[in-house]
Structure 1
Amino acid sequence: MARSALTLHPGGGRPLPTDWRLWLNLLPDDLRDAYEERAALIEYDGGEKRRTAERRAFECVVWRNEAARGFIEACCAQARPGAGA
């Protein structure tokens, strides 16, 4: 099977956080479904390993989406100790 021509997206100049996998639990159902579908397509149609497919899907569905990224960052800020005080 041919290798995918996809390249990892740099996140608009912002590095992907190291804990990005923890963010998946914060996604609304529609974004989570879009993420899962994109990861499956990249893995099976693109011939990528699952971990790479998941990272690329996160970059495509969440990290490049300003509204989604803002939502997740706001949720993380509220979850930090002392937030909202």
Structure 2
Amino acid sequence: MARSALTLHSGGGQPLPADWRSWLDHLPEELRDAYEERAALIEYDGGEKRRTAERRAFEAVIWRNAAARPALDACCAQVLAGAGA
């Protein structure tokens, strides 16, 4: 299967934190759904491995998306509060 050319973010900006996967359970449902859909598209249409597709989807849908920033900030607060417990 030939790889399709996907338009992904250039990687500029802040790198993902090492624990980004722990944030997934704290995302609002609409962001989680958008993340899951993008990961599936990158994996199946783009021919990427699942773990790579998940990371790229998180970057594209959540990490580098200014509209998702308020939800991400709230999510971060929940994750950090749980880490201190």
TM over 0.5: yes
Return the TM-score normalized by structure 1.
0.77
Q: Which runs of 5+ in 2 are unaligned?
A: none
3-state SS in 1 of match to 2:15: coil
Identify unmatched segments of 5+ residues in structure 1. none
Corresponding residue number in structure 1 for 2:84: 81
Q: Following superposition of structure 1 onto structure 2, how do residues 38-77 of structure 1 map, counting pairs within 5 Å?
A: 38-77=38-77
Distance 1:21 1:9 in 2: 21
Q: Deviations over 1:2-54 (max 9, x none)?
A: 224345642x4201111010111111000000000000011011111000100
Separation (CA, whole Å) in 1 of partners of 2:52 and 2:67: 23
Between Structure 1 and Structure 2, how many residues are aligned? 81
State which structure, 1 or 2, has the greater radius of gyration over its C-alpha atoms: 1
Percent identity of paired positions between Structure 1 and Structure 2: 74
Query: Which structure carries more helix by proportion?
Result: 2
Compute the TM-score of the two structures, normalised by the length of structure 2.
Answer: 0.77
